[in-house]
Chain A
Amino acid sequence: MRELSLHVMDIVQNSLSAGASLTEISVTEQGKQMAIAIIDNGRGMSQEQVKSVIDPFFTTRTTRKVGLGVPLFKMAAEQTGGSFSISSELGAGTRLTAVFQTTSVDMIPLGDINSTISLLIRCNPDRDFLFRRAKDGKEFTLDTRELRRVLGEGVALDAPEVMEWIDAYLAEQTETIFGGTI
């Protein structure tokens, strides 16, 4: 894939199909490292499944015999000299972390992460997402639970006006932590 943000979109689909009501996505840049963490409260996996999930020939889907999402993400991290880890507990959820060395020639750009977050919210208005973006000490968060509290029962998260606010918020905050140079 051309962007890490597409990997994020792909990996989060796993959380959603595991029935997660809350998925936390964080992108943290510190110096020459970038860490992407995806933590969900879905049904989790057994220790055996955790081991096999990095195997391209393991998948839960029935349409074909390969599952490339997690192996490709792991490869993207490791080819930069970074690391990848996944841990899970049945009934509690799954935590996945990938660390990238951003100066590596094999580093894939993060890409349009805001678009990924926005589409995830838009297409899954009944789920919650917590997005955290940090760079060298500056950070911002978007918590759909917080937005839901403000909006109350009457207005859905995927109402066009609300989505417009979310997109503008993400763009503004990103500009702020990057000093407007993105």
Chain B
Amino acid sequence: MKSLEELRAIKERVQNQVAMREDKTGALRVQVGMATCGIAAGARPVLNAFVEECTKRNLKNVIVTQTGCIGICQFEPVVEVVSADGEKVTYVKMTPEKAIRVVNDHLVNGNVVTEFTIGANS
């Protein structure tokens, strides 16, 4: 059974590593559209895929977060990747499988997956 005791043990273990993780300067932001339109189109599995893949790869300079409706509901699920200098790439009609590719190609290796972007899909 998961107990608060176990959580306490996790705290002791993690506390020391946290200092490194807290440094989020120069981080990439992954924003998944989670308004009614996004959720109905399947944004939750996409957000989940980003979270799981980033955790699996232990990516420390990535912040996965959610955002509201940005007004292009017909393209949902929409994911924006914003780099530290404010440059934004908008991925549309996302799926968990596509999300994993974006993590691998874009977040890890810095190569935008052009075929999933709004430019290639409109």
CA distance A67 to B1 in the complex (A): 42
Chain A interface size, under 10 / 10 to 19 / 20 to 34 / 35 or more: 35 or more
Q: Tell me if B65 and A123 are in contact (CB < 8 A).
A: yes
CA distance A115 to B45 in the complex (A): 9
Stretch at the interface among A6-14, A20-28, A78-86, A90-98: A6-14
Q: Tell me if A122 and B51 are in contact (CB < 8 A).
A: yes
Query: Contact partner of B34 among A9, A146, A161, A163, CB < 8 A?
Result: A9
Given A119-B47, A123-B47; A165-B10 close (CB under 8 Å):
yes
Chain B interface size, under 10 / 10 to 19 / 20 to 34 / 35 or more: 20 to 34
Query: Contact partner of A72 among B2, B36, B44, B66, CB < 8 A?
Result: B36
Q: Tell me if A10 and B39 are in contact (CB < 8 A).
A: yes
Chain B residues within an 8 Å CB radius of A150: 4, 7-8, 11
Residues of B with Cβ closer than 8 Å to A? Answer: 1-2, 4, 6-8, 10-11, 13-15, 18, 21, 34-36, 39-40, 44, 47-48, 51, 55, 58, 64-66, 68-71, 73
